[in-house]
Amino acid sequence: MKNQVQLITYVDRLGSGNIKTLHQLLRGPLAGLFGGVHLLPFYYPIKGADAGFDPIDHTRVDPCLGSWEDIRALGQDVDLMADLIVNHISSSSPQFLDYLEKGDDSIYKDLFLTMSSVFPNGATEADLLTIYRPRPGLPFSYITLKNGQKRLLWTTFSRQQIDINVLHPMGREYLHSVLRTLHENGIRMVRLDAVGYAVKKAGTTCFMIPETFDFIENLTHQAQELGMEVLVEIHSHYRKQIEIARQVDRVYDFALPPLVLHAIFNRTAYYLKQWLSISPRNAITVLDTHDGIGVIDIGADSSDPQNYPGLIPPEELEALVEQIHLNSNGQSRLASGAAASNLDLYQVNCTFYDALGRNDRDYLLARAIQFFSPGIPQVYYVGLLAGENDMDLLARTGVGRDINRHYYTLEEIAQAIQRPVVQSLFRLIRFRNQHPAFNGAFSMPESPDSRLILRWDNGAAWAVLEVDFAAGTFSISGSPLEGAEPIEALPGAHPDNRYGGIAT
């Protein structure tokens, strides 16, 4: 993966078009901004129950978006990442329909997990309550097969997403066939979606258990043998993120977004500094994604008997969530928790721009911290345009995460790009991509809790971000950057410092 800012986007929501439309945007108004693009699920069907995360055919591009040829053409310009949806398959998939029709006579009967396949001797109440749940209720769906047989299928996320037996030879071959298809069509990196839930074992939480780590290691080796890098997506206690980072190419830094918000809200970098001193260096840093703003990532580990503390105290975590609701004028409250369907209990659904009360200065500050933090930055398409909560889409679908999944028309994109905050963000992105200091070593010089200093050094090249949370100001300075946009072109540059940076 190039050490440049990455874009994460739905194909049909940035330009409301298809793969070719996205390609034209990346060659036009978004040219030079991104070293790579994470294409959120583009498999058939894109209009499923979970925005593409419930594929009927994981090896087929939805025709309304284009073809594998279009994917390969896009991959000639930017490195591409795609999702390997590890945990489940659609209830409308040919494999499951065959099982539904034939029951135990189906060749696919061992592909799907039932309650009895995990608990052959039955499950006690304690067994069921031990299972870690991201959503309300138990992870089972009752169905009757065509032959009258009844089953309790394991469905971690919804009735339309049937969990597969990833440890069975049939499950392994299914996943490897998807990997081969992605590799053959120019995908250079895969994200293991929902992999933390993939392995189930009686008497455990069925989430990130030792067998899960073994499975991730094996699957990672398969991808690497095909020449693909692996990114693991796990919302969990920060200790698990650090542990999994040791055996894969990349992990998300999901702790960064809420800690940045906490620092801005409370005018202290105390907890943010603690995290940046231990955070995985092979991280993909984010502020926003297609899901909500995670809070479990900085909270206590309730799934562990020792109940390891989080990165911030529980009362401050609660206050953080309430401040997001306040800043968004209550909109995030309508899209989070039990207020909307098909969402995870550990996330607050809100655009990052709205979480900051649509404050341009704070938003650019948050992005500057992200770009200077250890790892490779990834920017979500809504965040790229400083997008606001889409309450109309939320009202139409009732799906909480849709508040941050707006369908941008080409006209809306053209208008958004003219906004000063977006133009400033573009300049920050180019600075992060072009300055050689970011290919060197990261350090965090000592400073009071109200201040934060992030520094990169690479030989004679250097770049520094200095933040004064108490005053609400920040500045960027660095060594001269020949042949690239000068630092003084960044918003609010110090007039008395040729290589000064943002002073807000």
Residue 191 counted as an annotated binding residue? yes
pLDDT for 48 beyond 80: no
Instruction: Return the sign of the alpha-carbon dihedral for residues 398, 403, 407, 410.
Output: positive
Asked about 233 being catalytic, the answer comes back as yes
Q: Is 88 labeled as ligand-binding?
A: yes
Quote the tokens at residue 363.
Answer: 């938003």
Question: Which of the four pLDDT bands, split at 50, 70 and 90, describes residue 488?
Answer: low
**Per the annotation, does 380 bind a ligand?**
no
| Annotated catalytic residue within 54, 233, 253, 297 | 233
pLDDT over 70 at 21, yes or no: yes
Q: What is the pLDDT of residue 134?
A: 73
Confidence label for 500 from pLDDT (cuts 50, 70 and 90): very low
Q: Note whether 295 and 264 are within 8 A (CB).
A: no
346 is in an annotated binding site: yes
253 is in an annotated binding site: no
Region of residue 273 (left: phi > 0; alpha: psi -120 to 50; beta: else): alpha
Residue-wise pLDDT tens digits, 101-111: 999 999 999 99
Exposed e or buried b for every residue in 118-134, given b needs 16+ CB within 10 A? bbeeebeeebeeebbbb
Of the listed ranges 40-54, 317-331, 424-438, the one predicted with least confidence: 40-54
Which pLDDT score, from 0 to 100, does residue 499 have? 29
Check the annotation: does 301 bind a ligand: no
**Catalytic residue from among 163, 193, 402, 466:** 193
Is pLDDT above 50 for 503? no
Mean pLDDT for the chain?
A: 91
Question: Is pLDDT at 494 greater than 50 in this prediction?
Answer: no
The full DSSP string for 213-244 is HHHHHHHHHHHHHTT-EEEE---S-HHHHHHH
Please indicate if the annotation marks 291 as binding a ligand.
yes
The verdict on whether residue 101 carries a ligand-binding annotation is no
Quick check: 138 and 131 in contact, CB under 8 A? yes
Query: Residue by residue, what is the 3-state secondary structure of 391-444?
Result: HHHHHHHCEHHHHHCCCECHHHHHHHHCCHHHHHHHHHHHHHHHCHHHHCEEEC
H-helix segments, 81-124: 94-102, 115-118
499 is in an annotated binding site: no
Burial class (CB in 10 A: 0-12, 13-18, 19+), 252: buried
192 is in an annotated binding site: yes
* Residue 345 pLDDT grade (very low, low, confident, very high; cuts 50, 70, 90): low
Residue 190, strand partner residues: 82, 230
The answer to whether 468 is a known catalytic residue is no
pLDDT at 79 over 50: yes
Band of residue 327 on the pLDDT scale cut at 50, 70, 90: very high
Q: Rounded to an integer, what distance in angstroms lies between the CA atom of residue 154 and that of residue 144?
A: 14
Q: Summarize pLDDT for 454-486 with one digit per residue, the tens.
A: 999 999 999 999 999 999 899 999 998 766 555
Please check if 77 is assigned to a binding site. no
User: pLDDT (tens digit, 9 = 90+) per residue, 116-170?
Assistant: 999 999 999 999 999 988 777 899 999 999 999 999 999 999 899 999 999 999 9
Query: In the prediction, which pLDDT does 502 show?
Result: 39
- Bridge partners, 475 (sequence order): 466
Is 44 annotated in a binding site? The answer is no
Q: C-alpha angle with apex 430: 424 to 436, nearest 5 degrees? A: 135
